[in-house]
Structure 1
Amino acid sequence: MLRVALSRLGTAVPSLIGVVVVTFLLTRVLPGDTATYFAGPVASAEAIAQIRAQLGLDQTLPVQFGRYVADLARGDLGTSLGTGQPVLHEIATRLPASAELTLSGLLLAALAAVPLGILAALRQGSWVDHLCRVVTTAGVSLPVFFTGLLAVYVFYFLLGWAPSPVGRLDAFATAPPAVTNFLLIDSLLAGDTETFLAALSQIALPALTLALFALAPLARITRASMLAALDSEFIRTARASGLNRRTIVLTYAFRNAMLPVVTTLGMVFSFLLGANVLVEKVFAWPGIGSYAVEALIASDFAPVQGFVLTMAVLYIALNLAIDLLYGLIDPRAKEG
């Protein structure tokens, strides 16, 4: 396991270097001038030039890139011009909110998609199979921002079942003591049932929006993998040996169908990190996605670069975890 982890980390270094270079260059060629934005619409050319010099934007690109890499080597992601706070502090503060939302949506999707895919494979042509097809088609067809706006309109505006989409907690709730920075977990650790229910009601709609987006590929690949496993030789041998249906489906078929499901689970998680940007804006969720969008609109380079670099690190860590999980699920993958 350690050898596999070190090997994967070694191959991830060139990817991180590429992300740093490409992100730096893209933020410099995008439309918009940071100095002009923060100087204001009535600022003189001299004032804009002074701000540009203070930010180091009057230097050549190689000089700017050298300073950026030197700051990264010290663990400094820069300072946000919009908030005046270090980018690393802002990301560390907002990342738990995005992670809690993403993991909640992924958990809901997995709990619904895996059983639905298994039942659809076991009962081809039944209403369960047709339901699986309808859900997967809707999941891949509806954009997450449309689903989120529709959910807000129906469950908050029309029915009044959901609270107003104003973030992780409403104005009348008090955040629990920070332990994990996940409000649902921290409120349970503090024994604060009222705050837990308030946080749960706030995260329900955005998590369901992400879950519908993630459910489609998970249910589809679970169904396809189970169909392939159930049609294999070892399953026919297990049936001929007189094993009961539960053992055949869960112990033999599902375990052999898990590798494609785990791979898709990792891909879906990375997709959700990107979809979070739109969902956070719809539900005013204080995560790093909305933080990056606001910084991009303001041509604030440092938060955008920090956001992309953070996403790259998370994606690499996720792929490493999937590679290690392969060895636990299938010993043949470990040997390979």
Structure 2
Amino acid sequence: MLKLIGSRLATAIPSLIGVVIVTFLLTRVLPGDTAAYFAGPAATPQAIAEIRTKLGLDKPLPTQFVDYVSALSKGDLGTSLSTGQSVAHEIATRLPASAELTLCGLIFALLIAVPFGIAAAVKQGSWIDHACRLITTAGVSLPVFFTGLLLVYLFYFRLGWAPAPLGRLDVFFSAPETVTGFYLIDSLLAGDLETFRAAAAQLVVPTLTLAIFALAPIARITRASMLHVLSSEFIRTARASGLTSKTVILTYAFRNAMLPVVTTLGMVFSFLLGANVLVEKVFAWPGIGSYAVEALITSDFAPVQGFVLAMAILYVALNLIIDLAYGIIDPRARSEA
């Protein structure tokens, strides 16, 4: 297992180096002048030139890259020109908000999609199977921002069941003391049930938005994988041996069908991190997605570079977790590693 972890980390290093290079180059070729934006519309050319010199943007591109990599090697992601705060601090502050929303959406989707996919495979051709195919098709067809706006209109504007989509907490509540950065967990640790209920209420609609987006691929691959396994010879042998249907489906069929599902979970989690950018803007969620969009609009390079690098590290960690999960689910994966 340690050999597997080492090999995966070794292959991830060139990927992260490539991310650093590509992100640096892309932020430099994007339209817009950072110095002119922060100098203001009434600034003189001399003032803009002074700001450009202060930011180091007057240096040759190779020199700027060397300075960026040197700072990066020391753990310095730069300073946001918009907020004046360290990018590393901003990402560390906002990442729990994005992670809480993403994990809640993924868990909610799992709780629905996996049993739904299993039932659709077991009862192939039934109304459950048709409903599964209909829902998965609708889930992949609807843009995530459209789903979010539709749910806001329905549950907040029309029915009045959901609170205003204005962040992680209602304005009448204060954030709990930070322990994990997850409001649900921190409010429980503080014993503040009122804040917990308020945070949970704010999470419901954005979680449902992400869950609808994530449900479709998970349910589809669960159904397809279960259908493949249920047609295998060892399943027919298990049935012929007199094992109960529950034992055959959950113990034998589902465990053998889990590898494609785990792979899909990794892909879906990556997609959700990207979809978070749109969902956070719709629900005014103070996560790193909205932070990166605001920085991109103002041509603030450091937060954009920090965001992309943080996402790349998360993807590497996620792929490593998936590889480890393979070894737990299927011993053959451990022996091959």
TM-score, length of structure 1 as denominator length: 0.99
SS of alignment partner, residue 31 of structure 1: coil
Matched, 1:179 2:199: no
Residue of structure 1 in register with 2:301 after alignment: 301
The alpha-carbon deviation at position 134 of structure 1 amounts to 1.2
- Quote the residue 2:287 is aligned against: 287
Q: Which amino acid aligns with 2:225?
A: S
Work out whether 1:123 is the aligned partner of 2:118.
Answer: no
Aligned equivalents of 2:122, 2:102: Cα separation in 1: 30
Q: Deviations over 1:233-258 (max 9, x none)?
A: 11011111111111100000000000
Partner residue in 2 for 1:233 = 233
What's the CA shift string for 1:52-89, capped at 9, x where partnerless? Answer: 00000000110000000000000000000000000000
| Residues 1:204 and 2:204 aligned together | yes
By how many angstroms is 1:42 displaced? 1.3
Paired residue for 1:67? Answer: 67
Paired amino acid for 2:195: T
Q: Which amino acid aligns with 1:67?
A: D
Deviations 1:277-326 (A, max 9, x none): 00000000000000000000000000000000000000000000000110
Q: Which amino acid aligns with 1:204?
A: V
Tell me what 1:165 maps to.
Answer: 165
Match of 1:278 in 2: 278
1:107 maps to a residue whose letter is I
Matched, 1:335 2:332: no
Tell me how far apart the structure 2 counterparts of residues 147 and 47 of structure 1 sit (CA, whole Å). Answer: 45
Question: What residue identity is the alignment partner of 2:39?
Answer: A
Equivalences for residues 30-49 of structure 1 within 5 A? 30-49=30-49
The CA deviation string for residues 182-201 of structure 1, in whole angstroms up to 9 with x for no partner, is 00011111111111110000
Structure 2 distance, partners of 1:175, 1:15, is: 37
Equivalence map 1:34-113=2 (5 Å): 34-113=34-113
Structure 1 CA distance for aligned equivalents of residues 315 and 282 of structure 2: 24
What amino acid does structure 1 have at the position aligned with 2:188? L
C-alpha distance in structure 2 between counterparts of 1:306 and 1:119, whole Å: 43
CA distance in 1, matches of 2:171, 2:165: 11
Instruction: Indicate whether 1:10 and 2:36 are aligned.
Output: no
Residue deviations 1:180-237, cap 9 Å, x none? 1100011111111111110000010001000000000000000000000000011011
Once residues 56 and 121 of structure 1 are traced to their aligned partners in structure 2, the CA distance between those partners, rounded to angstroms, is 60
Residue aligning to 1:248 = 248
Q: Does 2:217 correspond to 1:217?
A: yes
- Supply the distance in 2 between the matched residues of 1:4 and 1:56 (Cα, whole angstroms): 42
Greater than 2 Å deviation, 4+ residue runs:
none
Q: Match for 1:104: what amino acid?
A: C
SS at the partner of 1:172?
A: coil
Unaligned runs of 5+ residues in structure 1 are: none
Superposed CA RMSD in Å reads: 0.5
Residue 131 of structure 1: CA displacement? 1.0
- Amino acid paired to 1:146: F
CA distance in 1, matches of 2:127, 2:97: 38
Aligned to 1:318: 318
Q: CA deviation at 1:103?
A: 0.2
Q: CA deviation at 1:176?
A: 1.5
Given the alignment of the two structures, is residue 261 of structure 1 paired with residue 261 of structure 2, yes or no?
yes
SS of the counterpart of 2:72?
A: helix
Moved more, 174-183 or 322-331: 174-183
Q: Which amino acid aligns with 1:231?
A: S
Long gaps (5+) in structure 2: none
- Quick one: distance in 2 between partners of 1:55 and 1:179? 35
What SS does structure 1 have at the residue aligned with 2:82?
coil
Aligned partners of 1:52, 1:178: CA distance in 2, in Å? 38
Identity of aligned residues (%): 76
Q: In 2, distance between residues paired with 1:290 and 1:73?
A: 26
Deviates more, 1:311-320 or 1:128-137: 128-137
SS in 2 for 1:322: helix
Report the residue type matching 1:68 in the other structure: Y
